[in-house]
Amino acid sequence: MAFLKLQGLTKSYGSFLAVKGVDLSVEKGKLVCLLGPSGCGKTTTLRLVAGFVPATGGEIHVGGKTVSSAKSTVPPEGRNMSMIFQSYALWPHMTVFENVAYGLTLRRLSKAQIAESVRTILSATQLLALESRYPGELSGGQQQRVSLARALVIKPEILLLDEPLSNLDANLREEMRFEIRRLHDEFRYTTVYVTHDQAEAMTTADMIVVMNDGRIEQAGSPEDIYERPATEFVARFIGGTNILTGTRRDGDTVGCDGGLVLRCGSGSPAHEGRTAVSIRHHDIELSSVRPAGETNVTVGTVTRQIYLGSHRDYLVSIAGGEVVRTVAPVNVAIPVGQEVWLTFPPEKCRALAS
């Protein structure tokens, strides 16, 4: 059953609609990532849940209680939610211990209770040894851990994270993704996590909600979203893919504009007329010799080949001037200008709903 439920949630700024009727159900204890390009409405949705901005329409329910509707709105301080921002927003004049304890002191708990709760969280976030330091004496990653500890210690009904790792360098960001997932597995707070970083969403989320232009484009498990994108937008946004456009023929066959005819083993092509087919870069098989089969096979010419350490990245020009991108092991080194054969396995060709 849904613990957090958004129904027809809408937010307008003047005549501009930033969030356009979002419906979303999040089960208790799940971590949901709102993922999408800049300006698609992720942060606005998060702020609506937190109560920092009033909704224009729709409802928000938490644990069966209405926190926002046309009739009434619970203010942020009445929602028992914790929000973590890009800027860690730590108190510079307080130690790590005092920063984490702050939310509990407001709740008038005894000193012993506070110390016990704070030390439990500091231990889980590997900060115990740093409890007497000030934020200015910590690295960026350590400061972000403190902001996580501070949010977790009050045992929020809902944890909200707004691009929490964007101020960290690439290596630390990767490490902290795993850390956030580990902490989530330990504490199981219902969490909404905003990011525009696909890898961050794939690593941390139970469910990814892809947003586009104020709407939900698709919601599902990371595997669902990656393996079974429903729309061209999702296929392009999540992972590298080639999109070939064409016209649906009989059954599962699409005649691409360049002349290539593809059998599509997955997806749901438009009932008639124009449709798009998605095939991931790594799913196309590249060979310098003509394969035995004929289905979904075409000839092309290498126009770019780049060595990337773990693999080689190819651009291949095929019939009709279409260019597709594919990858191959490093030992498959075919020079620019050479003829190659591409196989598009039917089970990897996904016809997208138009």
How many Å apart are CA 333 and CA 306, to the nearest integer?
9
Stretch that binds ligand ATP, among 35-43, 65-73, 172-180, 338-346 (CB under 6 A): 35-43
Q: How many residues bind ligand ATP (CB under 6 A)?
A: 12
Minimum CB separation from ligand ATP for residue 195, in Å?
8
Minimum CB separation from ligand ATP for residue 19, in Å?
7
How many Å apart are CA 17 and CA 21, to the nearest integer?
10
Q: Which is nearer to ligand ATP, 18 or 101 (CB)?
A: 18
- SS3 readout for 185-246: HHHCCEEEEEECCHHHHHHHCCEEEEEECCEEEEEECHHHHHHCCCCHHHHHHCCCEEEEEE
How many Å apart are CA 122 and CA 116, to the nearest integer?
10
Cβ neighbours of 115 (radius 10 Å) = 14
Q: Which is nearer to ligand ATP, 7 or 212 (CB)?
A: 212
Q: Which is nearer to ligand ATP, 197 or 224 (CB)?
A: 197
Cβ–Cβ under 8 Å, residues 187 and 160:
no
Mark 6-25 with x for binding to ligand ATP (rule: CB under 6 A) and - for no binding: -------x--x-x-------
From the list 1, 15, 38, 321, which residue makes contact with ligand ATP (rule: CB under 6 A)? Answer: 38
Q: Which of residues 271-300 bind ligand ATP (CB under 6 A)?
A: none
Ordered DSSP codes for 6-61: EEEEEEEETTEEEEEEEEEEEETT-EEEEE-STTSSHHHHHHHHHTSS--SEEEEE
Minimum CB separation from ligand ATP for residue 21, in Å?
14
**In 3D, which of 301, 305, 323 has the Cα closest to residue 244?**
323
Mark 189-208 with x for binding to ligand ATP (rule: CB under 6 A) and - for no binding: -------x------------
Say whether residue 42 binds ligand ATP (CB under 6 A). yes
- Token pair recorded at residue 23: 């419906």
From the list 4, 9, 43, 135, which residue makes contact with ligand ATP (rule: CB under 6 A)? Answer: 43
Q: Which is nearer to ligand ATP, 39 or 329 (CB)?
A: 39
Q: Which is nearer to ligand ATP, 79 or 196 (CB)?
A: 196
Q: Which amino acid is at 135?
A: P
Torsion of CA 219, 223, 224, 226, to 10 degrees: 90
Cβ–Cβ under 8 Å, residues 2 and 25:
yes
From the list 41, 164, 229, 246, which residue makes contact with ligand ATP (rule: CB under 6 A)? Answer: 41
> Which residues are paired to 7 by β-bridges?
59
Stretch that binds ligand ATP, among 40-48, 99-107, 125-133, 164-172 (CB under 6 A): 40-48
Q: Which amino acid is at 260?
A: L
Cβ–Cβ under 8 Å, residues 240 and 281:
yes
Query: Rg for the chain (alpha carbons), in Å?
Result: 25
Minimum CB separation from ligand ATP for residue 168, in Å?
16
Mark 142-181 with x for binding to ligand ATP (rule: CB under 6 A) and - for no binding: ----------------------------------------
Minimum CB separation from ligand ATP for residue 4, in Å?
18
Q: Which is nearer to ligand ATP, 16 or 170 (CB)?
A: 16
User: Residues interacting with ligand ATP, by CB under 6 A?
Assistant: 13, 16, 18, 36, 38-44, 196
